[in-house]
């Protein structure tokens, strides 16, 4: 695809990373599983060993990198993406700013697996307060917006400028938004990280992650880290994610339509409090989200009175399955307190799937009745 031309999102996810049409060749070539490649004249790919390079990775990296607006490095999971960035950038005694309300495993990785670096870790909630002291002396500031599970939003452009002024790099965990929902690199971030296990692949059948960066040298460093650590993505999962990404635009549109319909139906419901979705005009984050996001996706959250009320809701629903993770074609609900998130017992992260809006709303209201 001519990457210089500005095609729309639907076109870009369908065509991104696919080879130029040539008679007798497949539209989407199958996955390449090779460990060693024939040596000799290797041609432009330079492939010689499967841990160092693979055409199936490069095809998806080209598609995602084009959307993110940077050089993409695929990794075998979202946590592999996060841990690779943290390990590559942080040294002994460095200051790291982390979201206190973001993905729990990121905080756990820093505490449990990076203890030997004696990092100075400053945790802060996504809405702030982003005081001068937060940035002072920081090496890396990691944002997660919208945050998982709370759905709070922070201003990427403003915080990137402030991080840079303090001499820090700014990274954004863009998992909940996907590259169609938000382009952090265009807003001034240095690094975008995502779990493609969620909406990007979107069928609840694989784990994958990626990092995209603007700086070519940093991209080379992350590639080297992947090759030497040996934590490489599987070619089959990579291929399956590429195939699945073709419908990302359609899936996100239906998920957002379902989220909007659910928010409408749940607004003012006697059992429901704390309803949040960045796409909702009444959400405290909406104004900022509308300014920096391109679309809102299907993840909302609300609270029921207690744990029993959530369990009853999930028992009675025919369409909503209890599951962690989000962004798949099936609607799922996750009572986050069971995984140790600092939220109330009745807190539900709801991932609107691709069911018919009328069916989903009717099912949720029936299950809550
Ligand atoms: C799921 C998730 C991750 C971790 O991704 P895995 O693919 O499960 O390793 C990281 N960040 C956020 C925001 C997530 O939702």
Give the model confidence (pLDDT) of 114-132 as tens digits.
Answer: 999 999 999 999 999 999 9
Within a domain: 4? no
CA of 46 to the centre of ligand 1 (A): 32
pLDDT above 90: residue 28: no
| 260: Cα separation from own chain's centroid | 20
Q: State residue 281's pLDDT score.
A: 97
141 and 252 share one domain? no
Domain final residue pick, 245, 272, 305: 245
Task: Output the average pLDDT for the chain.
Answer: 96
Domain that holds residue 291: 248-368
pTM of the model: 0.96
220 and 361 share one domain? no
pLDDT above 70: residue 3: no
Within a domain: 218? yes
pLDDT above 70: residue 2: no
Identify the residue whose C-alpha is closest to ligand 1 atom 5: 78
Whether the Cβ atoms of residue 84 and residue 225 lie closer than 8 Å to each other: yes
108 and 230 share one domain? yes
For the Cβ of 209 lying below 6 angstroms from any atom of ligand 1, the answer is yes
CATH classification at residue 304: 3.90.1150.10
168 and 93 share one domain? yes
pLDDT above 90: residue 308: yes
273 and 353 share one domain? yes
Q: State residue 43's pLDDT score.
A: 74
Q: Which of 105, 147, 211 to mutate to test the pocket of ligand 1 (most atoms within 8 A of CB)?
A: 105
Domain final residue pick, 221, 245, 269: 245
- Is 133 buried (19+), middle (13-18) or exposed (0-12) by CB count in 10 A? exposed
265 and 199 share one domain? no
Asked which of 35-49, 212-226, 297-311 is least confident by mean pLDDT, the reply is: 35-49
3-state SS class at 357: helix
Which CA distances in Å does 57 have to 173, 183, 234, 242?
21, 21, 9, 9
């Amino acid at each position: 695809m001519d990457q210089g031309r500005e095609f729309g999102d639907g076109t870009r996810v369908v065509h991104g990373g696919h080879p130029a049409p040539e008679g007798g060749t497949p539209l989407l070539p199958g996955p390449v599983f090779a460990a060693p490649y024939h040596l000799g004249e290797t041609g432009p790919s330079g492939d010689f060993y499967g841990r160092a390079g693979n055409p199936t990775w490069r095809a998806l990296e080209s598609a995602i990198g084009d959307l993110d607006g940077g050089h993409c490095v695929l990794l075998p999971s979202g946590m592999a993406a996060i841990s690779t960035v943290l390990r590559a950038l942080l040294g002994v005694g460095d200051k790291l700013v982390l979201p206190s309300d973001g993905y729990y495993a990121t905080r756990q990785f820093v505490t449990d697996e990076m203890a030997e670096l004696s990092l100075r870790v400053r945790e802060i909630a996504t809405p702030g307060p982003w005081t001068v002291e937060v940035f002072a002396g920081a090496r890396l500031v990691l944002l997660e917006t919208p945050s998982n599970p709370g759905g709070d939003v922070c201003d990427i452009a403003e915080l990137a400028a402030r991080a840079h002024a303090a001499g820090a790099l700014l990274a954004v965990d863009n998992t909940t938004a996907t590259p169609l929902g938000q382009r952090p690199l265009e807003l001034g971030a240095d690094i975008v990280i995502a779990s493609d296990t969620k909406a990007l692949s979107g069928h609840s059948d694989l784990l994958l992650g990626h990092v995209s960066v603007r700086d070519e040298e940093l991209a080379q460093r992350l590639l080297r880290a992947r090759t030497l650590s040996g934590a490489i993505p599987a070619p089959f999962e990579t291929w399956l994610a590429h195939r699945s990404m073709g419908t990302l635009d359609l899936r996100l549109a239906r998920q957002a339509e379902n989220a909007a319909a659910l928010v409408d139906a749940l607004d003012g419901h006697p059992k429901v409090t704390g309803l949040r979705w960045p796409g909702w005009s009444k959400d405290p984050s909406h104004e900022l989200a509308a300014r920096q996001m391109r679309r809102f996706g299907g993840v909302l959250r609300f609270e029921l009175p207690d744990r029993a009320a959530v369990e009853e809701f999930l028992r009675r629903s025919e369409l909503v399955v209890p599951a962690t993770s989000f962004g798949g074609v099936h609607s799922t609900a996750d009572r986050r307190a069971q995984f140790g998130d600092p939220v109330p017992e009745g807190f539900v992260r709801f991932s609107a799937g691709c069911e018919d809006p009328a069916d989903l709303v009717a099912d949720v209201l029936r299950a809550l009745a």
